Chain A
Amino acid sequence: MRPGIRIAIDKIFTVVAGASVVCLCLVLVAVLGPMLWRGGSAVVFKGTVEFRQMQLVLFGRGDEDKIVAESKQAQIARAKIYSTIERFKGGIDSGNLIEKARQIYRQFGNDLRQTNMSAEDVAELRSVTRQIRDRLESAFASSNTAEVNESLAYVLNFKDDPRFKNTSAAGLIGLAEQYSKDIQGINLAERQRYYQEIRQVEDILVELLGPAPGAATPALMMNRFGATRWDLAQKLLGRLLWYEEWIKQGPEQPMIRRLTPRSQRFAGTEIEGLFTYIQQNLPEMLRPRPTFYWQYFIDDSTPGHYFGGVGPEILGTLLLTVLAMLFVVPFGVISAAYLVECASDNFVMRIIRMSINTLAGVPSIIFGLFGLAFFVLFFLPIFGAPSKGCILAASMTLAVLTLPVMIRASEEAIRAVPQTYKEASLALGASRFHTFVKVTLPAALPGILTGVILSLSRVAGETAPVLFTGAVALGPVPKSIFDPTRTLSYGSYDMAVGDKLAAMVPHNQFGMVVTLVLLILCLNTVAIILRSRVFKKLAGH
């Protein structure tokens, strides 16, 4: 081959290799970049006054006086919303009217018991009143004008009934009269719709601004505070300003989504102007401020990860990883030592070697099921521990999962120790065991640590093996290794397949994934530094 061509081929090779490395890096950046960016928003974001309140209530963090003062300021800006809605609801709330009718009926029943009428009369009166009440309720609930008028007419028939004169039941007829006046010239269907939609608005407002002042504390933690983050608030504002509808096009055809401004839905009412008011004054109501929430990495979270951080997840992942390493490193090194130093090359050993290689390729879910069957259902009860998923079982499953990797790496490392070291040691009168412990093992340590690094990354990130053996999505921080734990990997999985609630806190999903990546990076960095120090020491620099 001519030298020119050879140089050209060399150059092409270099360029192609370099380009592929660059491509890989770009892909990596393209994948990791957005993930890091979105995950970072779990820690650095614009926190609202609700966030500061949540931190105060849940974690006792921050200056109480300042936060209370700030939230008072915010409440002043919010007051208009609540008063407007309250007024509007007073006019359309048929639920309220139904409740009133029922109250009167109950009162009348009590009154009847006091009178000295005959039992037959009482029974008849009762059934008539019940009919009146039922017709009234259907009138209040219905949006069909003809139906309503018919019901109201039925009730008003009893207007001059002497039996009801001067009794509490007259209130029912009063209600009917009032209602028939109220609905003169009004589109009943519209009125029903207002009733439905104002309730939607109220629900969104609870998510956005927290419970209305004076309302009872909600049972669900996530309803106790409004939008803690400005980006979440923006999302909720979108839902507040736009009414979403799914419209059927016809059979076998996909429905289409239609968005209408909510102000248009409430056109002509006093609610119409409210939306512009909220849009303009939202910063005043929520007071967003740049927040660096480093406690994300230590805080516990409320169920569903709606508030708080990933502290228990990090703790659980670390616990599982470290415990698994404690199991796998001695086992792996001893097995590798046996395979290299003691085992002869016979049929049984060949089967064992092949099994180890095969095990390295077994899908991790299989190990998860094995862990469930062996550690959880069989092993733990033997030692009197409760037969449930726990840290111990999960870490042992992870250890089994990564054992082949560890054995292979240690085997290579031990094999790579120069024979001359062993010879020198043996020639000085050392036994084979002494030689292995004092000479071979220290010299193989960097290679063994490489195995540890490989295992570490795998163990920390695995989800399937801990699925059945000790990971939970919710639950308390574990108190012992016989408790299940939350982990970052399982948490990420759970939020990814989770409900709508998880979709409301995407920063948490990404935050968890990024935390996992960072945690593995940290663990690896520590292991790599350790390895390079051992290596330097061995090399004599």
Chain B
Amino acid sequence: MKENMRDKTTQNEGTAQCACPIISSNDFSFYYGTTMGVKNITMNINPCSVTAIIGPSGCGKSTFLRSINRMNDLIPGVRAEGKLVVDGQDIYDKRVNLVNLRQQVGMVFQKPNPFPKSIFDNVAYGPRLQGITNRTALDEIIEQSLKASALWEEVKDNLRKSALALSGGQQQRLCIARALATKPRVLLMDEPCSALDPLATGKIEDLISQLKDNYTIVIVTHNMQQAARVSEMTAFFCLGELIEYDVTSKIFENPSNKKTEDYITGRFG
């Protein structure tokens, strides 16, 4: 298993070196029935980087994020146009295997949502879905995932405890561990810290900077300081459109678009 992990790491590094984007959106639009969610998004996200998506409420940043692993499909009457390519595959193609896609593209939600099961069972949920039932293999994956999400030291003695008995910050890190256990290439985070106190937020942010060595992270956040702290690239969405997408320092220090400047200086939104 460890070797497997190493393979994955080298593979990720390999893709990073070739610098071809892992997520590539080309004129992508998404509709809820007749209502538009996002419109004509064109952006590339590089592997092993942290990309922040910011923007006012209702601007479509969550819609875009959830399009990347097709979580929006749960809502009846949705429709996608244009191209959204993840890891070389057009994910809105009819032949795409949703199970594989979602294992490749993990997701962490706004509110910590561990299953009402034990810590062990929570993390083991994904691997078990993939058919891993061997106890030692599971143990190893769970240890790795919990270590990767910096939760191992806190819970290693009582993995049988219910996940709901953990604190909010711990629960969110458990959710990250759960997402990591399926060994995804991309990790989507939908405002992962909005329900947490500053201390827990700090821990998650540290975790994000550790994880970016091995995973591509896309994070939606309302907290601009957070975006500035953790991300390399930042995308600013407004009214369903991608206004500006650039290196984080440039967006925050010298935005090229007036709307972006207004938003980050607090004059709007």
A interface with B by C-beta (< 8 Å) = 344, 418, 420-431, 434, 438-439, 442-443, 537-541
B126 surroundings in chain A (CB, below 8 A): 428-429
CB nearest to A445 among chain B residues: B116
Q: A538-B164, A539-B116 given as contacts; is B74 within 8 A of A428 (CB)?
A: no
Asked whether any CB of chain A lies closer than 8 Å to the CB of B113, the reply is: yes
When distances are taken between beta carbons in the complex, the residues of chain B under 8 Å from A429 are 98-103, 126, 129-130, 182
Kindly report which residue of chain B lies nearest to residue A539, judged by CB atoms. Answer: B164
**Are B111 and A420 in touch, CB under 8 angstroms?**
yes
Question: What's the dominant secondary structure at chain A's contact region?
Answer: helix
- A421 lies within 8 A of B115 (CB): yes
- Residues in A neighbouring B109, C-beta threshold 8 A: 420, 423-424, 427
Chain A residue at smallest Cβ distance from B111: A420
- What separation, in Å, do the CA atoms of A423 and B101 have in the docked complex? 15
Q: Using known A-B contacts A421-B115, A539-B116, determine if residue A427 contacts B179 with beta carbons closer than 8 Å.
A: yes
The answer to whether A541 touches B165 (Cβ under 8 A) is yes
Known A423-B71, A539-B164, A540-B165; judge A428-B178 contact (CB<8 A).
Answer: yes
B106 CB–A CB distance under 8 Å: yes
Q: Is the CB of A428 within 8 A of B163?
A: no
- The CA of A443 and the CA of B76, in the complex, are separated in Å by 24
> Does B162 lie within 8 Å of A427, measured CB to CB?
no
Known interface pairs A418-B113, A420-B113, A423-B71; A428-B161 also in contact (CB < 8 Å): no
Q: In whole angstroms, how far apart are the Cα atoms of A80 and B204 in the complex?
A: 100
A474–B174 CA distance with the chains assembled, in angstroms: 62
Cα distance, A466 to B225, chains bound together (Å): 70
Of the candidates B76, B102, B130, B165, the one whose C-beta lies within 8 Å of that of A427 is B102
A-B complex: 6 closest residue pairs judged by Cβ atoms:
A540-B162, A420-B113, A540-B164, A540-B165, A429-B102, A427-B107
User: Which residues of chain B have C-beta atoms less than 8 A from A434's C-beta?
Assistant: 129
- Is B175 at the interface (CB under 8 A from chain A)? yes
Task: Determine whether B221 belongs to the interface, using a CB cutoff of 8 Å to chain A.
Answer: no
**Contact A443:B116 (CB < 8 A) given known A420-B109, A428-B102, A429-B129:** yes
Distance of A184 Cα from B177 Cα, bound (Å): 116
How far is the CB of A539 from the nearest CB of chain B, in Å?
6
B9-39 Cβ-contact flags toward A at 8 Å (1 or 0): 0000000000000000000000000000000
Residues in chain A near residue B214, CB distance under 8 A: none
Q: B162-187 toward A: CB 8 Å interface, digit per residue (1/0)?
A: 11110000000001001100100000
**Given the complex of chains A and B, what is the CA–CA distance between A439 and B86 in angstroms?**
28
Give CA–CA (A539, B116) in the complex, Å.
7
Q: B115 and A426: CB pair below 8 A? A: no
When distances are taken between beta carbons in the complex, the residues of chain B under 8 Å from A430 are 99, 125, 129
